[in-house]
Every structure is written in structure tokens, then in C-alpha cells.
């Protein structure tokens, strides 16, 4: 593990998910990291400082003062000491305070003093996580250069099912390990990624599209950018945004526009990842005015769009990697292998709509990766951020071989 010898500061805030911090500390210590823990007062109601102190082999800090004599826990020294800071779980309140600079406890004071990369792993109920104020706070913290480990999908303490579960400790450690180990290999590499759907207009108000949210492509872009790569993201219409300084986003709408943008940047990039869900057909004629309802049926004359991945895959240079995606509903492996060969990919990432939690719109995915020698790697259902790390690690392994 590349976390060996790293000084990691773990911030624990007041969520029921705080119980997972015990396993997280244990895994970090097992990876031979040096761990110090800072807790909010409310976090101590869910897990005792003694538990985390025993596991971390360091005193757990909960306030500015150590004792009645007035000795204090120096937040500045803690912020300088750490190589990485992780806030897990990060509640909506803690996110809000860190985003606004509202510093009224030791944890937020340490965050404001930290000179190291900071990772936030949110945990809260689904509606709290989706609330515009929470989304705004996350956007602000991301703009400040912080990193986010997205919550996972599942049953919450409220009994609701949705996004908001703290990422599993194993996934958090994997992401931290990848961040530490991958930056030297990926530094200055250029990665081109397509993401999201395309929309093919029928008239000024209607269009043909699909259910792609863009979440997988954006997660891959963030993973490579965090690893030091320079990313060009060609994105179809989506509600997602990234403020990562290593990502340049080109917004497009139609398949033709995506082809033009991807083709223009294809040759200059080391890796091209075709994660977008591009329309296979587009209306041959677009009405200038809204089409009025007439008769019992309507026919559209559709023309085939350019196969972006297939066309550019044939132009791949030696040393350049091309990775495609295949979302299938039947004969999944057979269709994926056909795409892998026909489009000259080095790898294809297969997911099936028959797997619960995989495919469009979900925050999770379950993938199988096949290389051109037809070696097959199967992965469990994970958050899309964790899936992105798996894809990143495959590419980094390939670069290391070279």
C-alpha cells in the first residue's frame, strides 16, 4: 500500500455513520499510515473517542483545550502535520461550515489550517444530500480544490432507499491509496473522455435522446484529474459540472458536435475513453417550427449518425489507448467482444442493465473489463467513483508496463 508512512488526519462529524470510522482507522493503520483523529462533540455521541484512540494509537482530539490548565490542541500544527486530511463522515452541517469558513470547533479550524489535500466523504439522508444548499456547498468546496468521495446508494438510517450512505471504508482507503500512488505516473498525461447523452432535435422543442446522466464519464474525468492527468471532457447535456483545475470541459448537444469535438482533440491525447451514450440515429430533417399533432400516427425519417468510437478507433496511434463502453441487455459478453474488435479498442468496459444498480442514472455500477487479448476482469457493484478508480488503475498498470 502506498499509504505507508503517510500522516493522515481523520475528521469525524456527528452522523450515525461515525461507527464506520473505527474500521476506517483500522484499515489506515493496517496500511501503515500514521493516523490522528479529530472529532466534533456530536460525533462522540455515536462512537467513543476511546475506541478511535485505541485503534489509531494516538489521542483523539475533540476540543481546543487539552485540560483544565488551559493547554491547547494546536489546529495550525495539526493542519501542517498532515499529508492528507479526510472528513468521514462529513455531515451537511460540517460541509456547510467548511464551505463558508464558519470556524467554531476544532475540526473546522484544522480544515482551514490544512495545507494538504482534503477529502470529504458525505453521509446524510437522501433528501438532505440532494438539497440545493448541500449541492452548492459541495460545489464551493470542490472549487476550493477539495476532493469528494461520493456517498453510496442503499438503505439509510431513516429507512429510505437512496444516495447518502457513507462510502465503505475499504472504498475510501482505495481512493486515498490511488490518489497517493497514481499522481507521479499520470502527471502530464493527456486524457480525452466523452460523457453523457446526445440530443438530436426533431423540432425547436422536441428531441431524441437517452437516459444517460453522465455520472460515469464525469467520475472517470475526476479520477484521472486527481491523479495528475490533464483531462479534456466532451460532455453532452447533463446537470453535472466539474470545477477541477485539471479538467477542460467542452459542452456539446448533438452526436455530430460530439464527433467534431472528439476528432479535433483525438490525436493529441494519450488515452481516449468513449463513455458517452451517443445517439445511433438522428432526424434527417429538423422542423423549423413546432410540429402540430395531426392524424393517428407520425413517422420520422432518421439518418445514421457517425460511429465516433469506431471511426476514431481506426486512427489510433501506437502507444495510444482507446477504451470503449458497452451497455447491453442480452448476449452481453458476445456483443462487447464484437465491439472491442470492430472498433479497435484496447479495453472495453461492459455493464448490463440486467444487473441491479448498474447502468444509467444510478450512482453505482457493476462492470466487466475485457482487453484485446480477451482477458476478463469482473468487478463487484460499487459507487461510480470507485469504478472510476478501477478503470484508472487499469490504465496506470498499462502505463507502468510501458
Secondary structure E strands in 207-320: 207-208, 230-235, 247-251, 271-274, 281-283, 302-304
C-alpha distance from residue 203 to each of 40, 274, 303, 314, 329 (Å) = 55, 28, 15, 34, 30
Q: Would you place residue 182 in the very low, low, confident or very high pLDDT band (cuts 50, 70, 90)?
A: low
Report d(CA 63, CA 79) in Å as an integer.
15
Q: Is 248 exposed, middle or buried (0-12, 13-18, 19+ CB in 10 A)?
A: middle
DSSP assignment letter at 183: H
Q: Tell me: is residue 93 an annotated ligand-binding position.
A: no
What is the rounded CA–CA span in Å between residue 373 and residue 235?
Answer: 30
The CA R_g of the chain, rounded to the nearest whole Å, is 23
Distance CA 272, CA 231 (A): 10
pLDDT of 63: 86
The whole-chain average pLDDT of the chain stands at: 91
In angstroms, rounded to a whole number, what is the distance separating the alpha carbons of residues 12 and 241?
27
292 is in an annotated binding site: no
Residue 71 binned pLDDT confidence (cut-offs 50, 70, 90) = low
Q: Which helix (H) or strand (E) holds 6?
A: none
Residue 70 has pLDDT above 60, yes or no: no
Of 190-194, 198-202, 312-316, 330-334, least confident by mean pLDDT is 330-334
For the ranges 54-68, 94-108, 112-126, the lowest mean pLDDT is seen at 54-68
> 114-126: buried (b, 16+ CB within 10 Å) or exposed (e) per residue?
bebbbbbbbbbbb
Say how far apart CA 351 and CA 339 lie, in whole Å: 13
DSSP state, residue 237: S
Band (pLDDT 50/70/90 cuts) for residue 367 is very high
Q: Is 198 helix (H, G, I), strand (E, B) or coil?
A: coil
Annotation marks residue 246 as catalytic: no
Residue 209: how many other CB atoms lie within 10 Å: 16
Does the annotation flag 36 for ligand binding? Answer: no
The helix (run of H) or strand (run of E) holding residue 75 is helix 75-81
Catalytic residue, candidates 2, 58, 73, 210: 210
Displacement of CA 271 from its chain's centroid (Å): 18
Domains of the chain: 7-180 (3.40.50.1950), 187-401 (3.40.50.10300)
The region, left, alpha or beta by phi > 0 then psi within -120 to 50, assigned to residue 85 is beta
Nearest to 157 by CA among 18, 47, 24, 37: 18
Mean per-residue pLDDT for 220-227? 90
pLDDT over threshold 60, residue 146: yes
Single pTM value for the model: 0.67
Three cell numbers, residue 64:
481546543
Residue 185 cell numbers, joined: 505516473
Average pLDDT over residues 78-89: 93
Task: Quote the cell numbers at residue 175.
Answer: 481512493
Helices (H), 194-321: 215-226, 255-266, 308-313
Q: Which three cell numbers stand for residue 307?
A: 460511429
280 marked as binding residue: yes
- Please tell me whether 290 is known to bind a ligand: yes
Amino acid at each position: 500500500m502506498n499509504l505507508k508512512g503517510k500522516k493522515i488526519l481523520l475528521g469525524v462529524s456527528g452522523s450515525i455513520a461515525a461507527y464506520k470510522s473505527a474500521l476506517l482507522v483500522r484499515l489506515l493503520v493496517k496500511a501503515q499510515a500514521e493516523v490522528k483523529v479529530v472529532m466534533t462533540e456530536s460525533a462522540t455521541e455515536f462512537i467513543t473517542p476511546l475506541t478511535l484512540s485505541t485503534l489509531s494509537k494516538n489521542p483523539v482530539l475533540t476540543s481546543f483545550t487539552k485540560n483544565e490548565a488551559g493547554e491547547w490542541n494546536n489546529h495550525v500544527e495539526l493542519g501542517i502535520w498532515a499529508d492528507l486530511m479526510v472528513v468521514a463522515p462529513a455531515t451537511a452541517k460540517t460541509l456547510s461550515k467548511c464551505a463558508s469558513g464558519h470556524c467554531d470547533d476544532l475540526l473546522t479550524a484544522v480544515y482551514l489550517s490544512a495545507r494538504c489535500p482534503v477529502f470529504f466523504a458525505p453521509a446524510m439522508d437522501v433528501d438532505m444530500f440532494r438539497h440545493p444548499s448541500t449541492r452548492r456547498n459541495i460545489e464551493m468546496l470542490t472549487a476550493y480544490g477539495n476532493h469528494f468521495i461520493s456517498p453510496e446508494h442503499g438503505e439509510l438510517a431513516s429507512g429510505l432507499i437512496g444516495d447518502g450512505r457513507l462510502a465503505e471504508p475499504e472504498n475510501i482507503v482505495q481512493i486515498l491509496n490511488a490518489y497517493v500512488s497514481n499522481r507521479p505516473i499520470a502527471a502530464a498525461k493527456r486524457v480525452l473522455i466523452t460523457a453523457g447523452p446526445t440530443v438530436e432535435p426533431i423540432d425547436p422543442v422536441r428531441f431524441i435522446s437517452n437516459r444517460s446522466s453522465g455520472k460515469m464519464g464525469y467520475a472517470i474525468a475526476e479520477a484521472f484529474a486527481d491523479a495528475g492527468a490533464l483531462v479534456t471532457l466532451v460532455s453532452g447535456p447533463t446537470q453535472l459540472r466539474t470545477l477541477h483545475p485539471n479538467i477542460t470541459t467542452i459542452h456539446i448537444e448533438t452526436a455530430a458536435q460530439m464527433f467534431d469535438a472528439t476528432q479535433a482533440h483525438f490525436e493529441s491525447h494519450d488515452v481516449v475513453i468513449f463513455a458517452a451514450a451517443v445517439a445511433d440515429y438522428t432526424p434527417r430533417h429538423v422542423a423549423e417550427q413546432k410540429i402540430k399533432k395531426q392524424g393517428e400516427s407520425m413517422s420520422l425519417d432518421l439518418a445514421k449518425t457517425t460511429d465516433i468510437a469506431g471511426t476514431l478507433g481506426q486512427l489510433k496511434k501506437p502507444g495510444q489507448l482507446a477504451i470503449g463502453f458497452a451497455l447491453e441487455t442480452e448476449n452481453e459478453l458476445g456483443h462487447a467482444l464484437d465491439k472491442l474488435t470492430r472498433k479497435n479498442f484496447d479495453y472495453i468496459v461492459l455493464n448490463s442493465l440486467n444487473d441491479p444498480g448498474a447502468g444509467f442514472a444510478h450512482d453505482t455500477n457493476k462492470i466487466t473489463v475485457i482487453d484485446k487479448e480477451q482477458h476478463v476482469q469482473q468487478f463487484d457493484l460499487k459507487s461510480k467513483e470507485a469504478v472510476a478508480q478501477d478503470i484508472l488503475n487499469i490504465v496506470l498498470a498499462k502505463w507502468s508496463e510501458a
